[in-house]
Structure 1
Amino acid sequence: MIRKAVTMKVFEGCHEEYRKRHDELWPEMEEMLIEHGMHTYSIFLDEATHTLFAYLEIADEELWAKTADTEICRKWWSYMKDIMETNADNSPVSFDLKEVFYLHK
């Protein structure tokens, strides 16, 4: 299993809307994530800085990268662009984090 961590930014005043949209995640979006090797996906919010911290466990980096090419992912990005920092293609501005410690028993 591959563990990934990413940060993103949600706009100030949009924290609850961000949560609401994820609480109502479209079934076809969830299905696509699973089909592309997602096993675990959690997002945490630092309310003071509006920073989102996403933790994922995926099966394969190449397969996971193909999520960006799906119609449902692009539709989701378009849906989310008004409440978070995005790139020109509506994808979230995100930064991969480097793992520096892992303890597992």
Structure 2
Amino acid sequence: MMKQMFKMFIYPDKHDEYKKRHSQLWPEMRTMLKDYGVCSYSIYLDKDKNELIAYLEVKDPEKWQESSKTEINQKWWHYMADIMETNPDESPIVKDMDIVFDLE
């Protein structure tokens, strides 16, 4: 099992829209996440910094790496590109966070 935490960056006036879009997550996106080994995925918003903090647990890290190449993931990136900071390929700009403590 792999645990991962990272930051993404949302535009200040798009907090509500981000939450709305995730509350209506497409069924095919939900299926893809599960098919690619996601056991748990949570995203938190720091409103003061306009940062999204994501935490996920994945069964197979190698398979998870392939998820970004799926058609549905590419479609989701495009859908979200107008409300958050993105790379030229419309993937979200991500800053990985290092784990410094884990109580299991």
TM-score class, shorter-chain normalisation, is over 0.9
**1:42 corresponds to which residue?**
42
Q: Which amino acid aligns with 1:16?
A: D
**In 1, Cα distance between the equivalents of 2:67 and 2:84?**
19
Using structure 1 for the length normalisation, give the TM-score: 0.97
Cα displacement (A) at 1:76:
0.2
Q: Which amino acid aligns with 1:61?
A: P
SS in 2 for 1:15: helix
**2:9 corresponds to which residue?**
9
Using structure 2 for the length normalisation, give the TM-score: 0.98
**1:98 corresponds to which residue?**
98
Unpaired segments ≥5 residues, structure 1: none
Q: Say whether residues 1:53 and 2:53 are aligned partners.
A: yes
Task: Tell me which stretches of 4 or more aligned residues in structure 1 moved more than 4 Å.
Answer: none
- 1:33-79 per-position Cα deviation (integer Å, ceiling 9, x unaligned): 00000000000000000000000000111100111110000000000
